[in-house]
Each structure stands twice: as C-alpha cells, then as structure tokens.
Structure 1
Amino acid sequence: MWLARPWAVAVVGVYVVLWLIFDRESFNWHAVATVATLTMALFIQRSEHRDTQAIHAKLDELLRANGEAKDELAKLDEKEPEQIEAFRTKH
C-alpha cells in the first residue's frame, strides 16, 4: 500500500518538477490532466486505506473484548481472499 502513504504525493511532485525541467514543451493540458488524475487516485487510495485500517482496529477491539472469539479470527486479514471466503463458508 505504498500509494496510501503521504510521501507518494511528494513523489508525484518530484515527478512533475523533473518533467518540467527536462521536457517543459511536452507539459501541456494533457500532462496536467494526467497529474491531476494521479493525484486524485492517491487521495482516494489514502482515504480507502484509512477506512480499512479503522474497520480493522474496531474489529480487533471487538475480538479482544469477546472472550469466546476464535484466535484464528485475529489473523484472518493476513490470508488470501480465497482463504477468507473458504473460512466464511466453513463457519
């Protein structure tokens, strides 16, 4: 999830600066639209990552609070999607 990190926006900024330094003539409206799209994608990715992390934190707390919860549930998010689906259908 490197796109959800704050420094990803800085990387895009460095990319734009290098683009302007080395090929200023090709930086037209299409380039601006490309950079804007990439920046929006980074912000959307960060927002989704934040929401997912919040949900995981809440679920972890519920699992800790419920003494009857299975230990395997706490590490379920480390498994592949197919393994999670198999777990859900089994239980």
Structure 2
Amino acid sequence: MKDLFHKFAHTISEAVGRPATFCVALAIVIAWAVSGPLFHFSDTWQLVINTGTTIVTFLMVFLIQNTQNRDAHAIHLKLDELIRANRHARTSLVALESMSDDELQRLQEEFDGLRERVHGVRKHRAKRRA
C-alpha cells in the first residue's frame, strides 16, 4: 500500500508541478469567471469554484507533505553518509533530526559561537591587511 501511494503521490506531484497544469487550472478559473453572467453570479455558481478549490487543496496538502517528507528523509540520509565518510566530521551529528529540541538548541548555540569567532577572525585579518 505504501509503495502504491508513493508512486501515486510522486506521479501527481510531478504532474501538478508542470507549467501546462498551471495553465489548465488558470483556464478553468477563467472559464468559471466568464460563465458568471450566464449563471447570474448565483450562489451555486460561487459554490462550484469554492467546493472545487477546497477539495483540490485538501488533497494536495497530503500529497505535498508526502513528497516533502520523502525528500527531507533522502537529504538527511545523504548528509549522514557525508558526515560518516569524512574522518574529520563529528559522527555525533548523524541523525540530528532525532535529537530533542533542547539538544538542537545547544548545538545551534555552539555553531552560532563558532560563526561569531570565525567572523571576528576575518574582521581582524581584514583590518591587518588595510
């Protein structure tokens, strides 16, 4: 079932990401707008576009989330492999996504400090050259 959903979600996400699909959606909206006078801009006429867009949006949220989850997972695995393969890298950084928010905050503060030190060194070197 998971593979079937993945293939379906991937196919749909590829299809809706194309310019032609946008043009079709735009044509539908234009056709709806142009048909307004024919239906006297009735409540039913408005309900058609509201219902259609609500249903499409509702379903697309799940497809987009599935695609983003898979992409993020693949990127994490690639980064984990790069960290693992680099003998100078800290292997404790593998699978950061499973750390608690507090652990991630401490690591962020550590990297902020490193960035500030590097920025300070660069400023100092630039002053010496000037």
Would the TM-score normalized by the shorter structure come out above 0.5? yes
- TM-score between both structures, scaled by the size of structure 1: 0.56
State the alpha-carbon separation in 2 of the partners of residues 79 and 34 from structure 1.
Answer: 36
Scaled by the length of structure 2, the TM-score of the pair is 0.42
| Structure 1 segment 41-80 matched on structure 2, within 5 A | 41-80=61-100
TM-fit CA distance, 1:80: 2.7
Sequence identity, in percent?
31
For structure 1, list consecutive stretches of 5 or more residues without a partner in the other structure.
Answer: 10-27
Q: CA RMSD in A?
A: 2.5
Task: Give the number of aligned pairs.
Answer: 67
> Which of 1 and 2 has higher RCO (CA within 8 Å, sep 6+)?
1
Where 2:89 maps in the other structure, the secondary structure is coil
- State the Cα distance separating 1:47 from its structure 2 match: 2.1
1:88 aligns with 2:108: yes
Partner residue of 1:33? Answer: 53
Residue 59 of structure 1, CA deviation: 0.4
Provide runs of 4+ in structure 1 moved above 2 Å.
28-35, 80-83
